[in-house]
Chain A
Amino acid sequence: MNDRAKEELKPITNESGIEVKPLYTAVDVEKSGGLSMLGQPGEYPFTRGIHRLMYRKQPWTMRQYAGFGNPADTNKRFKYLIANGQTGLNVAFDLPTQIGLDSDDPLASGEIGRVGMSVDTLRDFEVAFDGIDLNKITVSLTINGAAAILIAMYLAMAEKRGYDVKQLRGTAQNDILKEFVGRGTWIFPVEPSIRLVGDTIEYCAEHAPKYSPVSVCGYHIRESGANPAQEMAYAFCIAKAYADDVIKRGLHVDEFAGRLSYNFNIFGNLFEQVAKFRAGRGLWAKIMKEQYKAEKPGSMWLRMIAAGGGGGLTFEQPEVNIVRGAYYALISALSGTQTMALCSYDEAYTIPTEYSARISLRTMQLLIEEMGLTETVDPLGGSFYVETLTNQMRQKMEEIMAEVDAQGGIVKLIAEGAIQSKVSAQAYRMQRDIESGKFRKVGVNCYRNEKEEEHPVEFHPYKEEDARAQIAALDKIRAERDPARVSQALARLSADASAGRNVMPALVEAVKAYATVGEMTQEMVKIFGRYQEPIRF
């Protein structure tokens, strides 16, 4: 292109800060580093996919986020989603459960069952998963601060129902470091929080080797204001912090790394996201192989859910979110993800209705059944643009990770609030750019309806009587359980926590004795203390 043609074009930079050219050729691919990191699907460095045949063998798992009210209500929604073709479950918990409060705690008042299902004891899990085949439907628990407790509860529930825990699959989110950056369901200070994640990884490696105890989330860091390259780079820094904790205990990387998984976001520029996922797969494989000396291919796999897209959806013209969701699903399919889920079109307003959750499910099924997205592995591979961008995104991520290390590491930066401050400043600039029209959002700063119509959104009802029923059920359990067994189990938990032993065996025992989430959390708070949020702008 001559200089004159260049002059006429306004430069475009993607969100990750990479300049986008009007045309890419083989020269750009070469200049950006060539195809040395491309390889074949199912082979190191896995840029094209972690499996050889990918969706040709098995389409992605569909796992809509669901849960509200009492465990019985949630069980009904689970069964509805499964009946409609959903192949996994992703459980939403209410805020008291997420931060380790019982339903009868005064701080839980008004919040019981509101944003997810409430869980106090093992009984609630027994009800929530009643009639669901845990071998057929894999369950993902969106739990972080209280993750060790709820993983123990899930394993105990499965064992009680006769499943072989050694063969049990499933996932817990259990990524506490990102909770300090965004999402906010922390309980304990940073150091003991990392230790608890390490405890779950170490315990599962031995007792539930097919269970994925951690899903490291770039997702929420992106929602908090990070760009796509930062999203993945920070997630890798966090995953390394957990891996380092476990390796310090004497485990070899190949004993646990194969069960680490990831959760990434899918809103934004289509090509930038697809390049992000392809770049991330290669980079993570390289990190595990070169820095951690992993030998098993599974340890190098970036297994992930590419999902949600909540940050891209709009309050304005909510029905247009159905279309956005379809494009996000396309991004997810092109990314080579293992699992997919979509935020529903009404999610900026309320908990999705059965109707809107079904539309999300149908959106993903459509890609499988009608659009040919499962027929060929990594269909964008070889595109001059996508390969160039993949190289550039990988370099960006490496730069960001090196910067984090140079500044003292991710744990220090999160503990000080530095990452929080950085992404929040970016979120502010983005909001200003949206409000000024510089960053275009359809229906928000362009193509607004002259007269906003009534929004076709049905609000999910919050029922006070459900909260009262949950408290009554908890009272009943407290009255029926064996108090000596509970106090013994809690004493062991306290002793193990304070001696620096892995707390998981004590938690499993306490859960089986029907100790409550709040009781177990309290025991650990006494030893570990509570997190104090750094306020920094």
Chain B
Amino acid sequence: MTAAQKSVATTRRIKVLLAKPGLDGHDQGAKVVVRALMDAGMEVIYTGLRQTPEAVARMALDEDVDVIALSSLAGSHLPFCTKLKPLLEASHLQDKLWVIGGNLPAQDHDALRQLGFTGIFPTGAKLDAIVDYIRQNVKEA
């Protein structure tokens, strides 16, 4: 095995949980992001629609992901993230990268950051910006 091969073999692929929180049914964007992350070499677990905060926290823990990503377009991002934050903390997932995308008004960005969602990608964000942000900010396992 060459050094390069070894490094590929031992460096774990970035593992992302991409969840659709709440009752929102808009999944076009989430599925597009899933494909972009997979094309970028990441492993993506897409939850499908209608996930509760409890389900998201449980999957993030069970799947041992590096990134917890939400896609929200129906306006309930703040109440959802408010419920999700303590659950992720209780599972000791505060060191993971938390990101969120979708229909997220600028006036809510500070509140989302305070809830631990450091990567915020409102409508209009570029796919490569999401990929780059995750690569640069994901914490080494």
A residues in contact (CB < 8 Å) with B: 95-96, 98-99, 101, 107-111, 114-115, 179, 182-185, 223-225, 314-316, 348-350, 420, 424-425, 427-428, 431-432, 435, 444, 459, 462, 533, 535, 537
Contact present for B128 and A110 (CB under 8 Å): no
CB neighbours (8 Å) of B127 from chain A are 431-432, 435
Q: Which of B1-9, B25-33, B62-70, B91-99 contacts A (4 or more CB under 8 A)?
A: B25-33
Residue from the list B34, B74, B105 in contact with A115, Cβ < 8 A: B74
Contact present for A435 and B128 (CB under 8 Å): yes
Residue from the list B25, B79, B124 in contact with A184, Cβ < 8 A: B25
Which 9 pairs show the lowest CB-CB distances between chains A and B?
A: A184-B25, A110-B79, A95-B23, A533-B48, A315-B124, A424-B31, A315-B123, A428-B35, A110-B76
CB distance from A429 to the nearest CB of B (A): 9
CB neighbours (8 Å) of A427 from chain B are 28, 31-32
CB neighbours (8 Å) of A115 from chain B are 74-75
CB distance from B43 to the nearest CB of A (A): 12
CB distance from A112 to the nearest CB of B (A): 10
Contact present for B74 and A225 (CB under 8 Å): no
CB neighbours (8 Å) of A459 from chain B are 105, 107
A431 to B57, CA, bound (A): 30
- Supposing A107-B23, A110-B80 touch, asked if A424 and B123 sit within 8 A by C-beta, the answer is no
Residue from the list A96, A107, A184, A316 in contact with B27, Cβ < 8 A: A184
Contact present for B105 and A537 (CB under 8 Å): no
- Supposing A110-B80, A431-B32, A533-B49 touch, asked if A349 and B75 sit within 8 A by C-beta, the answer is no
Closest to A314 in B: B124
Contact present for A537 and B35 (CB under 8 Å): yes
Q: Which of B23, B24, B50 has the most CB of A within 10 A?
A: B23
Closest to B122 in A: A315
Closest to A182 in B: B28
Additional A-B contact list (13), CB under 8 Å, known A111-B76, A115-B74, A427-B28: A95-B22, A95-B25, A95-B74, A110-B80, A225-B28, A315-B123, A420-B31, A424-B28, A424-B35, A427-B32, A535-B48, A537-B34, A537-B38
CB neighbours (8 Å) of B118 from chain A are none
B36 is an interface residue with CB less than 8 A from chain A:
yes
Closest to A115 in B: B74
Contact present for B74 and A223 (CB under 8 Å): no
CB neighbours (8 Å) of B34 from chain A are 537
- Supposing A109-B79, A110-B80 touch, asked if A96 and B124 sit within 8 A by C-beta, the answer is no
Closest to A145 in B: B25
A225 to B32, CA, bound (A): 10
CB neighbours (8 Å) of B79 from chain A are 109-110
Contact present for A179 and B32 (CB under 8 Å): no
CB neighbours (8 Å) of B28 from chain A are 182, 223-225, 424, 427
A183 to B73, CA, bound (A): 11
CB neighbours (8 Å) of A185 from chain B are 25
- Supposing A182-B28, A184-B27, A315-B122 touch, asked if A110 and B22 sit within 8 A by C-beta, the answer is yes
Could you name 20 residue pairs across A and B whose Cβ atoms are closer than 8 Å? A95-B22, A110-B22, A114-B74, A183-B26, A225-B28, A314-B124, A315-B122, A315-B124, A316-B124, A348-B103, A349-B103, A349-B105, A424-B31, A427-B32, A428-B32, A428-B35, A431-B127, A432-B127, A435-B128, A535-B48
- Supposing A315-B124, A459-B105 touch, asked if A425 and B25 sit within 8 A by C-beta, the answer is no
Within 8 A of A (CB), among B45-85: 46, 48-50, 52, 74-76, 79-80
Residue from the list B32, B48, B107, B126 in contact with A424, Cβ < 8 A: B32
CB neighbours (8 Å) of A96 from chain B are 23
CB neighbours (8 Å) of B24 from chain A are 95, 184
Residue from the list B23, B80, B122 in contact with A99, Cβ < 8 A: B23
Within 8 A of A (CB), among B104-121: 105, 107
Contact present for A535 and B107 (CB under 8 Å): no
CB neighbours (8 Å) of B124 from chain A are 314-316, 444
